[in-house]
Amino acid sequence: MTETLSELIAAEDVLLFVNAAVTATGQREFRASAGEQRLSLSFLHEYVRVNYRSVYAAALALDINDHNAVAIVERLLRTSDEADGPAGKRAEGRLIAARLALLPPQRVYRLFRALRAAGVNNRRTRAIVRDWLATRAARADLAHDAVKYRTGLKTAARHTHLPFADPEVGDFLFAPGRRVRYEHALLDAHRRAHYEQAALYALPFTVAEGFAARHRVPRDVFLERIAPRMTRLERLRTQRSGPTADLAAMPLTRLALYVLSLPFGERVARRAELTGALRAAARRVAGPYAGSWGRVAAVLDDSYSSSGSAVKRRRPLAVALGCHFLLEALAAPGAYGAHWTSGGTDPLLVRPWGPTPLGARVLDALDTPALDRLVIVSDGWDNAPPGLAGEVLRVWRTRLDPGRRTRAVHVNPVYDADGFDVRRLAPSVPTAGIRDAEDLAALVEIAQFAEGRTGLTELQAYLDRRVELFLKGAPS
């Protein structure tokens, strides 16, 4: 019994960390400051790294956010001597390389700068940096990185004593005055952009912006001419209305954030376009599982706390909106019902408003005949009245559905710094952290381990499967 209890506690510790690594970013939340978030998250990282190092590394194969993926990589490389022998180092190295290949380059370059500042320069670190840069050069032009991420690439090259196959890139970074002109068009455009306005339109948008300001180019003129060089996200950030083709290819949560940033009048005027784009994004995420979840009822939190914070504006509400359209796609045709805490019925016009009567909405959802799944998307602050949702779920699970015919899960987009976890509603309903609506299906799978009925052995087997699939699908 002692071994079983210790396994259950270990499994709870690991799930605690996974929930935090999915949701927390060290930024201010509605009810916690950035400092509280960072302190709480840092403690969890150190606790799991020291006590469950192999599991800590395996978390890189899960749907954790980029902030925590970088933190894991940095801590693993800082403490290479604590790895479990040569085999452990090799396993960590493969996971680190596979995760770095998926991260945005700006985050990877910031990681390399942090490692250099911390004096982490062991052989494994240098090899990982060199391999990532070689992979980056094979998949993209390093001259592009030299222009767009100049400081990051320069720091990484210095740290690993990396020779460049193209000497022009080396000169651009370390001896910019050596050449009168460059053969590489992008490098020469950067040189000419210092004194020639036309050259800046051949540069990446974020670099061209600085030159446009220096040349005092009117903003509307600049945006019109630089449009072909802009990414889809850059276009959405710089203009309110974009072509439907752009919206149709947007990731679901980002698209939900974009929709929520629009005034109500514009949402109504573009209802068909926006709804069609959200449904198309949801269908892409659902993939082969579309229509396979049977009858689904969702309780979706659009209370005032879903407004998030100044740095994460409307993020919790965007996750709820994205989950709404994804659940609609996953449910059987015509077998989905949404219950917003505000009582609203138009998902396109949701806004953060009012208290959080989760208990009443859970009762409404459970009133659905022949319900197969109940999904609750909320930060867990049930306050109208407090605690009603937990009591409703407890009575329902113990008295009305003890056989668990209906599968229930609570996904929470907000990390609770004080509790070192996402806030839970009831012990009888598993809770998983969520950052992007796209991860809903995978998080529902891992939430089964949060019911307290499985130990570390089962969880480790699940992690091993995820690591195997992750490494198999890693970019080469």
Q: Which residue type, as a one-letter code, is found at position 315?
A: R
Task: Please state, for a pLDDT cut of 90, what percent of the chain lies above it.
Answer: 71
Residue 452 pLDDT class (50, 70, 90 cuts): low
pLDDT in tens, 328-368: 999 999 999 999 999 999 999 999 999 999 999 999 999 99
pLDDT in tens, 385-441: 999 999 999 999 999 999 889 999 999 999 999 888 899 999 889 999 999 999 998
Residue 63's φ and ψ, nearest 5 degrees, are -85, 50
Tokens of 216: 């005092």
pLDDT of 164: 84
- The class level of CATH for 252-454 reads alpha beta
Q: Which residue type, as a one-letter code, is found at position 267?
A: R
Positive/negative CA dihedral, 45, 101, 278, 265: positive
Nearest 5°: CA angle at 401, between 327 and 461? 65
Nearest to 390 by CA among 380, 375, 402: 380
How far apart are alpha carbons 202 and 187 in whole angstroms?
A: 10
pLDDT of 143: 92
For the chain, the domains span 2-210, 252-454
pLDDT in tens, 362-380: 999 999 999 999 999 999 9
How far apart are alpha carbons 305 and 317 in whole angstroms?
A: 9
Residue 453 pLDDT class (50, 70, 90 cuts): low
Tell whether the model's pLDDT for residue 64 goes beyond 60.
yes
pLDDT of 239: 64
pLDDT of 140: 77
In sequence order, what are the residues at sequence separation of 6 or more whose Cβ sits closer than 8 angstroms to the Cβ of residue 187? 143, 146, 147, 168, 169, 172
Nearest 5°: CA angle at 23, between 21 and 28? 115
Report CA-CA distances (Å) from 10 to 79, 98, 356, 441, 461: 22, 26, 33, 24, 14
Exposed/middle/buried for 141, CB within 10 Å: 0-12, 13-18, 19+?
A: middle
Task: Please state, for a pLDDT cut of 70, what percent of the chain lies above it.
Answer: 95
- Most confident by average pLDDT, 248-252, 289-293, 425-429: 289-293
pLDDT in tens, 81-136: 898 888 999 999 999 999 999 999 999 999 999 999 998 888 889 999 999 998 88
Q: Mean pLDDT throughout 187-198?
A: 94
Residue 303 pLDDT class (50, 70, 90 cuts): very high
pLDDT of 1: 40
More confident residue, 449 or 388: 388
Reported pTM? 0.88
First-to-final CA distance of the chain:
45
